[in-house]
Structure 1
Amino acid sequence: MDEKTAELRDIFVETTGSESVTERQEESPGSLTDAPDDEERNRRVGDLVAAMRERYEFETDLSDADLRRIVRGFFDGDTDAELASVLEVNADEGEVFVARTDLHLLRESDADAPFSLDEFRSLLADGADDEACAAALDADAGTVARVRRVVEARREATRANDRFRTEFEELLTDSDLSARLAEDARRDGLREATEDIETDVSL
């Protein structure tokens, strides 16, 4: 038994408390079958939307069904204009934006502003309203109001540890699957590496 194999044996004995391998490790059942179907995803997204509406003061008047459509479309990469076009009620991009911020679904471009965000946050901390911020920043009041919603939604989401967006993402994207596949690949690589050390070892 070479030094590498001896080290592996010591680790095995220390970890398991056994000096022999009596069972062949079997692969766990494929997790792809555990993924929720589309109907289950809709139900769970709806539950999250309802939980957010109960916890926060939503400004949007859109129904939970329309909010669910916005969540799903957002993770499909739809623009606000595209999202507005699939809602049950006649809505415009502005209404979709308000709904998205209520749901903590922010895009990087939402924070684009023609003024310093640090200065803006400082004004907000001092209690300045939109008109006062607009005057101080030499900006349009409508732009200030939009950026205020983004800043406040970001703060609200951070306080919740991005829980809701994370849960939406895990339900509607392959992020969780990708993580599992990466972990499987890592384990496969480790197994192949250890098999190369010595294939016929009596512990």
Structure 2
Amino acid sequence: MDEKTEELRDIFLDTTGGDTVTERQEEGHGSLADEPDAAERVAELVSRMRERYEFDSGLSEDDLVRVVRLYFEDADDAAIADDLGVDEATVFAARMDLHLVRESDREAPFDLSRLRSMHVEGVPTAERATDLGVDEGTVEHYSTVVAADLESTRANDRFRDEFAELLAEEDLRGGHTEDAREDGLREAAEDIETNVSF
């Protein structure tokens, strides 16, 4: 150690009261690494919904979890149906069971708020169809959307929001953070001067 380095070392010791340059970092609370697996938590949420609401799709819990995942990957009903080996009507029913209503589901050929009022008042399907000027099948389809929206609203959209949050966290745990870390390290390493002498 030359005189200058020794002098700097002494200043460091006087200032910090320690002789190590770095301290061991401990993992703080709320680390993503501490969280249970997202798939397990999504399955728990699906199970809680099944206990609370009457499901119409008839899909298994594993398939319902798959519907949630694919929905948040922006897969359409045809792609989800193909993945699960079921028809699109089953996927639609499963999405409604899980409060996963798309904006396009609300694009009815009539004023949806009128149907919502009739649904709340318990107006029979045939009367709804006559009043709205559409067939009963169309009324049943949009009544399912209205019912799912109302259930979700009563639950403050909690289930849908939790699904979204869990799957976003899973993305963070996966390759996205790893890629970002590697990119950041690569950029930082490019700026390091390797021929430094002390």
Asked if Structure 1 and Structure 2 have the same fold, meaning a TM-score greater than 0.5 normalized by the shorter chain, the answer is yes
Which has the higher mean CA deviation after the structures are superposed, 157-166 or 168-177? 168-177
Q: CA separation of 1:36/1:107 partners in 2, compared to 1, >3 Å: closer, same or farther?
A: farther
Letter in 2 for 1:126: E
* Contact kept? 2:32, 2:169, Cα under 8 Å: no
1:101 aligns with 2:99: no
Residue-pair matches, total = 149
Structure 2 unaligned segments of length 5 or more: list them: 1-24, 173-198
Matches within 5 A, 1:50-199: 50-87=47-84, 90-173=85-168
Q: Report runs of 4+ in structure 1 exceeding 4 Å deviation.
A: 27-33, 174-177
CA distance in 2, matches of 1:162, 1:123: 22
Deviation for aligned residue 1:124 = 2.3
Deviation for aligned residue 1:173 = 2.2
Q: Highest Rg: 1 or 2? A: 2
Structure 1 unaligned segments of length 5 or more: list them: 1-26, 178-203
3-state secondary structure, aligned to 1:86: helix
Letter in 2 for 1:40: D
CA distance in 2, matches of 1:32, 1:56: 31
Letter in 1 for 2:94: A
CA distance in 1, matches of 2:132, 2:58: 31
Letter in 1 for 2:32: D
Deviation for aligned residue 1:117 = 1.5
Letter in 2 for 1:119: R
3-state secondary structure, aligned to 2:59: coil
What TM-score do the two structures reach when normalised by structure 2?
0.67
What TM-score do the two structures reach when normalised by structure 1?
0.66
Deviation for aligned residue 1:153 = 0.7
Q: CA RMSD in A?
A: 2.8
Deviation for aligned residue 1:30 = 8.3
Letter in 2 for 1:76: E
Letter in 2 for 1:95: T
3-state secondary structure, aligned to 1:173: helix
